Structure 1
Amino acid sequence: MKNIIASILMLCVTAVTAQHNANEWYTIEVDVKSMSTKPRMLYLWYDGIGRGGDHAFYDSAVVVHGKVQFKVAIAMSGEAYITQISKAALRAANRHLPDITKGDALKFYLEPAALTIYCVDSLSNYVVTGGRYSKHYGHLKKAEDEFLQRRDYYYYPELERLYKEDSIAFKRLLLDYKMVEADYYNVTLRNFVLSHLNSVVSLVALRAIQYKNGDDLRLSDTLLKSLNASVAQAPEADDIWLYRETLGRTAIGAMAPIFNLPDDTDAMHALESYRGSYVLLEFWSSDCGVCLAEHRKLKNIHDQYRHRNFAILGVSFDTLREPWLAAIHQDGIGKWAQLSDLKGFNSRIAMLYGVRNVPQNYLIDPSGHIVAKNLWGDELATKLKEVFRSWQPETQTTPFFDKASRRN
């Protein structure tokens, strides 16, 4: 369908893509004179969007007389960061993104244009001038900031506290949060897209809607059809179309995409080597509070099925580990392998499985097919009870779990 639209409206598409000239340089000036504590150096971080994050960009500049100037040559527009923390420092702290809530970074829309960013009293309080889409992005970011404030400073901390108690209050608050979340993604962001059908900033909102709704593409389908064709076919939309292809690869009943990743001891684990057993493939990060809380229930599930043909493959996007995970006794064929992929959401496995947020999981059957995904807590326990009741392996021992067979 994408190709048909592109053929019919090629002239419109060409008009948009022509303005993305990677050989032309653009200036970004950051004015920090009004900041109470003036940084000595700032860093520009643009991971890019589109297929594979191929347009990643990173630069640094010294503050001179209260100003910093960056020169960039970009192939497409997208969200970017100005930070006080270098990429190396972020990696050392096991963080993937700067924390805009703590004032050490600002997020803005980088486009092929000269931009000026005025910081009022901190990096998190700023105004952007110049560019075609700065005003559009400012409206979108205001809505995002309001939602994140409610999520990160009330709902997430309170949900994590109540989760430990597994109380009725947790379920009540979770239901309340899901309503707030649904209103933001399916109403606020939808309305933004419908109000900006000729703006590539709408793709930022559409991307968030699509990832949040997962397999349910009804809303994103409607919005894609509503967008100006030149926007829907712009390079900035590549990863939106790619994600839709990914859903086919990870649908219930599909063969799980294969991969190889190292564990804590640098032993390689190939998904194919776990054929003959049920595998829970879990994507998580140590800075995800919900992920860490979910691990407490996963530990009980692991203990219950560790002597069955069952394994948990936890793919972490950083290097931190929970101590008790490393201490799990690897007895029999039960296994909870800790795998690492420090490339995060731009890694091959993340793109294979369409992982844009954590936690995310897939339950894979002994033949390698996906039988369920994104099941947590009681739902996961119920599903495992169901599959193990109806499935009897031919033997309780299998060579697939021998460490040597997992090395490449």
Structure 2
Amino acid sequence: MGKKRSSFFITLLLALVLVLSACSSGSSSSSKDTTIKYWSMWNKGEPQQVVIQKVIDAYEDANPDVKIDVQWMGREVMSKVRNAALSGDAPDLTEQSGAEVEGALINNELVEPLNELLTKKIPNEDTPFQDVFIDDVLSFYQKDDNTYFIPYEIISSGFHYNENVFNEHGVEPPKTWDEFIEVAKKLKNAGLAPLAQDGNIDFYNAYYYYWLVERLMGPGALVEAAGDKTGETWSQSGYVEAAKKVQELVDLGLFVDGYKGSQYPAAQTAWASGDSAMILNGSWLSSETAEYSAEDFVYKAFPFPTIEGGKGGTDQAELYLIGWVAPKGAQKEAVSDFLAFAMQKKYQEGIVKDTKNISTRADLEAPEALADFRELVINASSYHKEYDGLQAEFPDWWKIVFLPLDDKLIFGEIKAEEFIKELQKQTKEYWDKQ
């Protein structure tokens, strides 16, 4: 009786194992195969697109059960992602500048936290993910102790110059606004246009007023004034003084002749050819102008000068980050696995060598032309967002109110006092219509 019962249970157990085995083998492909839907900000052929495609190819080779369905959608990708997230059909992975990601997705709770990724080991390196980044860069867009944004490229802005030109004219990079004006006057008197400017790019024109407000009033001041629905904040002395200093540049004739009508990239190309001395722009400028510069051109940069009595200093750096985010509903585990793979040093070297930009990895040096910008970032005591975050926080106000008025100021079409009055008036009118 005991032997029969034992034999019966053994037979039953074997049958159960065979059934489970059959079920497992029959469903393995459907349970394991994964497709990550990735909408990228890059266009086909751009250096970053080429680098990321290489990472995707390597990841798929190493993970044959994973397919990354990437669409190269260009700079307007974030608006498309936001609409898709609102309708519940967002991609698993996308990328843009941190400010745009914050404005479109993070602030609207349309993202997945990636906290588990922080302690995940980088493949082939045995290093926790969070430990490979330059200090404070990974946490820059954290919210409520959640990490949503994974940066892989650093951009900043400041004055670019050719070290040989400065040496030829016996000038040093200025540290204060007064020194800056004196250097510019000396260069002008020597027959060299001090400042290059492609006037048809409104957000390039905006660099001057934005940086002057940062140096005078500190981070957050522009966003505060733009968000004041009465418009009255603009009347504060710091905003007025910043406008007067932009006007000072115009009145002294420090911009290259014809800058108002200069069509990008004419002015920056001419600067690289030696027709002007300095240009205030993003750190991408060296890669854009390298083919036009002379063989002895030595790319150097200095931060926007300090202003006596101002709240901002050169130890405060602009942090313009490009990185990844997982929209709401994304396959977090699959995305995290890919991002840990992508942040390997051997792949991030492509950001430095092939795109000529600064990697967020602490163990990668910048391209030689961007060494000064990397030093500004890693030695900074604090960071602020590009344009103080204005274009992400109040994108319509930025385009409708600020940029057109700022163009008039930098072109000398209105004086500082009128610029401020119009900012007050048009800001109030804008908010009244919302």
When normalised by structure 1's length, the TM-score is 0.27
**Structure number with higher helix proportion:** 2
**Structure number with higher strand proportion:** 1
When normalised by structure 2's length, the TM-score is 0.26
Structure possessing the higher radius of gyration over alpha carbons: 2
